[in-house]
Structure 1
Amino acid sequence: MTLKMAIIGFGKSANRYHLPYLKQRKSIQVKYIYNHRRHEKREANHAGMGITFTTDLDEVLNDDEVQLVTICTPADTHFDFAKQVLTHGKNVLVEKPFCKTATETKQLLELAQQRHLIAMPYQNRRFDSDYLTFKEVLKRGYVGEPLEIESHMDKYRPDDTVHTGDKINGTFYGLGIHMLDQMLALFGRPNAVAYDIRTIQNEKSTLDDYYQMDLHYGKLKVTVKTNPLVASPYPRFVLHGTNGSYLKYDIDQQENDLKLGIMPGDLNFGRDTPDKYGQVNYHNQNGDWITKQIPSLQGDYGRIYDSLCDSILNGKPKLVSDEETLLDIEILESGIQQPTPSVVRF
């Protein structure tokens, strides 16, 4: 059976993070792309997919063949579009962040439940190569009991522009949601979260460009952090445990390949080279210290759509549960509700 779907929005998100992967999936047909204006040159890049490009949202929402709608519009429009989609009886996948507030999130999730539909955030970075490999290191127990984890997505990108607007458009909501979701998917609800959310490049900006969250789980502390002014490479993941440590430099390569025009299905798409593999240093059962490289697993953002097909067509559980979706937003929202730094118990 083929799942027919539509996309609302036709910017970078749809063109870079969705359509290249959907082209590889024979079980899904993109029937429509709705945007408030046409982009003929951009549309030509997707010739052969049988997509109808339209500026009439009603055409999409009133088509009974469409079972799923993906929302790829600016963050502050997500709630309104998702509500319209659900009201018209269609499943919805929402680009991050799902919503700004826990109240909006609950409303959408409850509406979906009432109508026996799926509403889910597009947490594609659960299928980052670096994250999948990190999970495997934990699963194999190389480092014993995890005690301290650092997850970094730093860069060196000076920008003295004044950025203003709604907090949902800041780095904390925009990138923090991915890093937070990865850790919550592994460890669940923390006991407490310490926040440091700031603007460090231009004091006149009201949108943050720096954040650090410390998630406290008793003996385990998990730090997620982004700094826009890091000139020397820092590990993507740092893991210390009772039996050893694991370090991984550099991020998943899917986005870099997509920027270069290397597409899913191309040879070695998204793959790390051996010099980018992570390294574990651990104490084995014989008392010897072992150092070894851990080959990176293959990432694939399209696996979210594979999972959604299974959920919509076969009734399988959602990849991102309602509880996880709500917890993500609760923790983000709590971080911007009081002056920084702050600590919130959950």
Structure 2
Amino acid sequence: MQKIKTALLSYGMSGKIFHAPFLELHPGFELTGAWERSKHLIQDDFPLVKSYPTLDAVLQDDVDLVVVNTPVDTHFEYAEAALLAGKHVLVEKAFTTTVAEAEALRDLADEKKRKLAVFQNRRWDSDFKTVQELLDKDILGDIVEAEIHFDRYSPDLSAKKHKESASAGAGILKDLGPHIIDQALVLFGFPESVYADIRITRDYSVVDDWFDITLYYPTFRVRLKASFFIREPLPSYIVHGKKGSLIKSRGDVQEDELKAGKKPMVSDWGVEPVYKSGVLHTEIEGSTVRENIPTLHGNYYGFFDALHKAIRKNEPVPVSAQDGVNVMRIIGAAIESNIQKKPIKL
């Protein structure tokens, strides 16, 4: 198997936790190294790889794929440079800071005939996969309303300065927002309009840390919420249809297990505790059913496997640049709605 030589543009939490373990696990990838600015840590975990001193050093190396896992306001610059250098590119969320930047990267990748993907790994979370499978079976009837939450209790400001500085890439809307916006678009398609309320709730914060977004569809509504002041979390997925309801908590264990140093596996990985099972209350073949639903396994390996097939077999990327553009269109409309205090048509 011809391996895809892959370089990371940083080796902080994202590189160490979400990318390197799966690049190491998948036989079709070879991790060449990471661009490290001050701390040189990647060789502690992977002694044979490189610690690149500059972006140019990455782009001049024999690298097939560049992972842009740096602060959001650098995504456009670095992804553009990698595409111009003839590399395939994987960009972390948020894809860019604006719709125009997202469209420009999409078009450049098409022009250069390079693969460009967005790292929406939460599509491979156990909870989301379970909800998606049940909705695909259409056992709730016509959807009336849905909510997706990504809540935390984290009242203190982050020690990471780029997360708390008033820049175009900072704030919860472009941090947690892309996850649940992308999930809503996967489940329900692109909406007709967007209404949003975006706030700052933490003391001394200068970036948004709370949002409530409503996506308007012709016959139903989808509400997306995120906050840092939810000590007692609500269910993360609430879907009501004309036949019944589906309730599911956010139960995926992959991030916690990776942070604890566990190595991912192709199988028997991402298994949720049974007590986090969701509840399905609906009508099936004329009978009312209320039961706990078994949760599917989560596994980010699926993303990397699909990306490998996209690059080596010219199959579609697992999350496309157009998917990234669509998420940025929702974010842009949410920002405009918050300013104008009215729904924004798309």
* Structure 2 residue identity aligned to 1:94: V
Partner of 1:57: 55
2:141 paired with 1:140? no
**Matched residues in 2 for 1:339 and 1:59: separation?**
42
Q: Residues 340 and 265 from structure 1, CA distance in 2 versus in 1: closer, same or farther, beyond 3 angstroms? A: farther
Kindly state the Cα deviation for residue 6 of structure 1 after the two structures are TM-superposed: 1.0
2:328 paired with 1:309? no
Partner of 2:32: 31
Computed over aligned residues only, the root mean square deviation of the Cα atoms, in angstroms, reads: 2.0
Q: Residues 342 and 51 from structure 1, CA distance in 2 versus in 1: closer, same or farther, beyond 3 angstroms? A: farther
Partner of 2:179: 178
Please list the CA deviations of residues 128-178 of structure 1 after superposition, one character each: whole Å capped at 9, or x if unmatched: 111000001101222122221111111222237894411421001111011
SS at match of 2:198: strand
Kindly state the Cα deviation for residue 341 of structure 1 after the two structures are TM-superposed: 4.0
* Structure 2 residue identity aligned to 1:95: E
Kindly state the Cα deviation for residue 336 of structure 1 after the two structures are TM-superposed: 2.1
**Matched residues in 2 for 1:341 and 1:259: separation?**
40
**Matched residues in 1 for 2:106 and 2:212: separation?**
28
**Matched residues in 1 for 2:241 and 2:177: separation?**
24
Kindly state the Cα deviation for residue 281 of structure 1 after the two structures are TM-superposed: 0.7
**Matched residues in 2 for 1:170 and 1:38: separation?**
25
Kindly state the Cα deviation for residue 291 of structure 1 after the two structures are TM-superposed: 1.2
SS at match of 1:168: coil
| Contact 1:198–1:340 (8 Å) recurs in 2 | no
Kindly state the Cα deviation for residue 80 of structure 1 after the two structures are TM-superposed: 0.8
Partner of 2:95: 98
Kindly state the Cα deviation for residue 294 of structure 1 after the two structures are TM-superposed: 1.4
User: Which is worse superposed, 211-220 or 152-161?
Assistant: 152-161
Partner of 1:226: 226
* Structure 2 residue identity aligned to 1:16: I
| Contact 2:251–2:272 (8 Å) recurs in 1 | no
**Matched residues in 1 for 2:282 and 2:317: separation?**
35
- TM-score (ref. length: structure 2): 0.92
* Structure 2 residue identity aligned to 1:312: I
* Structure 2 residue identity aligned to 1:179: I
Partner of 1:210: 210
Count residues with an aligned counterpart.
340
2:331 paired with 1:332? yes
Q: Residues 168 and 342 from structure 1, CA distance in 2 versus in 1: closer, same or farther, beyond 3 angstroms? A: farther
- TM-score (ref. length: structure 1): 0.92
**Matched residues in 2 for 1:128 and 1:267: separation?**
14
Alignment of 1:37-76 (within 5 A): 37-40=38-41, 42-47=42-47, 50-63=48-61, 65-76=62-73
Q: Where does the alignment leave 5 or more consecutive residues of structure 2 unmatched?
A: none
**Matched residues in 1 for 2:82 and 2:250: separation?**
38
Q: Residues 269 and 340 from structure 1, CA distance in 2 versus in 1: closer, same or farther, beyond 3 angstroms? A: farther
Identity among equivalent pairs (%): 31
User: Which is worse superposed, 162-171 or 53-62?
Assistant: 162-171
Partner of 1:278: 278
* Structure 2 residue identity aligned to 1:304: F
* Structure 2 residue identity aligned to 1:78: H
| Contact 1:185–1:324 (8 Å) recurs in 2 | no
Q: Where does the alignment leave 5 or more consecutive residues of structure 1 unmatched?
A: none
Partner of 2:115: 118
Kindly state the Cα deviation for residue 266 of structure 1 after the two structures are TM-superposed: 9.2
Q: Residues 342 and 167 from structure 1, CA distance in 2 versus in 1: closer, same or farther, beyond 3 angstroms? A: farther
SS at match of 2:169: helix
